[in-house]
């Protein structure tokens, strides 16, 4: 049993969280490169909170130019135990309108060219992604979103596209035929990397638009998205604060905390020392001292 340190990754429109007390922006260096920004580190009651704006303050970084390995690495270095990701998404179904929130429980990864693992040649690992989110944290996020006044869907499949362009109509219809509920550009490989870092992860998708599948409507554009961002962000801030204030004082262990115990495959004698040094934060518990 131990306490909570919640990492909050803020997506489009969520660049700060009012109410985190005694905090300051902290620069953390990562062997995986430059993270999106400094992290705001403070507390809410007995819970330590670490906030990272995914696109940087002022939304400087495109989805395809993010460095999610560095982002997850710095959260791990700051002692984060669980990650709540907040993302702006499009809706692929009628009953999830703009302004509603979806708690993703599955992903389809259509990104390309993004490094999607901390592991590789010299240290191979295969984590399970069958159930890519933490059900405990997802349930807490859903309850907190409802308390903040949001219309919430407790589950949904998130289609992660490359971007930065929005979908074609043909793509949007294809993703609907696959059974996807929401579409975004940042949920992958973020969720995969959190699993490799043994961080329980939940993603709240804040719907800004209906993508471009609806007949007789204009295609989504940035002006439409921005118009919805403000209202969504206010609910998101209230959701985050409700979650932080209502977590139990003690954090019970999660199976995800030790998922690397059954994922490492490279024999100790042939592991790459340089890669092991880069893995000191995300996999140090399982790998031990270099």
Q: Which residues are identified as catalytic?
A: 209, 211
With the C-alpha atoms ordered 174, 176, 179, 181, is the resulting torsion angle positive or negative? Answer: positive
Place of tokens 């040094």: 277
- DSSP E strands in 54-169: the ranges are 82-91, 101-104, 106-110, 152-153, 157-161
| Separation CA 97–CA 92 (nearest Å) | 9
Q: What is the token pair recorded at 9?
A: 């990754």
> Is the separation of the CB atoms in 3 and 45 below 8 Å?
no
Task: Compute φ and ψ for 247, nearest 5 degrees.
Answer: -70, 145
By three-state DSSP, how is residue 268 classified? helix
Number of Cα atoms under 13 Å in the Cβ half of residue 65: 8
| Separation CA 240–CA 235 (nearest Å) | 9
Task: Compute φ and ψ for 256, nearest 5 degrees.
Answer: -70, -25
- Terminal CA-to-CA distance of the chain, rounded, Å? 27
> Is the separation of the CB atoms in 217 and 240 below 8 Å?
no
| Separation CA 76–CA 53 (nearest Å) | 15
């Amino acid at each position: 049993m131990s306490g909570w340190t919640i990492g909050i990754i803020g997506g489009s429109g969520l660049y700060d969280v009012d109410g985190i007390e005694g905090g300051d922006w902290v620069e953390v260096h990562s062997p995986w490169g430059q993270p999106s920004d400094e992290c705001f580190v403070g507390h809410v009651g007995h819970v330590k909170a670490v906030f990272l704006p995914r696109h940087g303050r002022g939304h400087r970084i495109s989805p395809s130019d993010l460095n999610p390995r560095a982002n997850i690495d710095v959260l791990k270095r700051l002692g984060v135990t669980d990650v709540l990701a907040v993302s702006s998404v499009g809706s692929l179904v009628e009953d999830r309108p703009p302004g509603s929130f979806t708690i993703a429980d599955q992903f389809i990864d259509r990104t390309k060219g993004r490094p999607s693992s901390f592991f590789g040649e010299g240290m191979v690992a295969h984590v399970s992604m069958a159930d890519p989110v933490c059900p405990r944290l997802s349930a807490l996020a859903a309850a907190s979103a409802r308390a903040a006044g949001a219309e919430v869907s407790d589950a949904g499949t998130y289609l992660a596209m490359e971007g930065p362009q929005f979908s074609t109509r043909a793509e949007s219809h294809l993703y609907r035929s696959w059974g996807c509920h929401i579409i975004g550009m940042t949920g992958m490989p973020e969720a995969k990397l959190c699993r490799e870092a043994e961080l329980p992860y939940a993603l709240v998708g804040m719907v800004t638009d209906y993508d471009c599948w609806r007949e007789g409507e204009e295609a989504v554009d940035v002006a439409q998205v921005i118009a919805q961002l403000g209202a969504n962000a206010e609910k998101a801030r209230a959701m985050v604060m409700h979650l932080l204030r209502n977590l139990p004082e003690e954090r019970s262990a999660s199976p995800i905390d030790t998922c690397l115990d059954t994922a490492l495959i490279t024999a100790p004698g042939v592991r790459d020392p340089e890669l092991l040094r880069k893995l000191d934060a995300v996999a140090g518990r399982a790998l031990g001292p270099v």
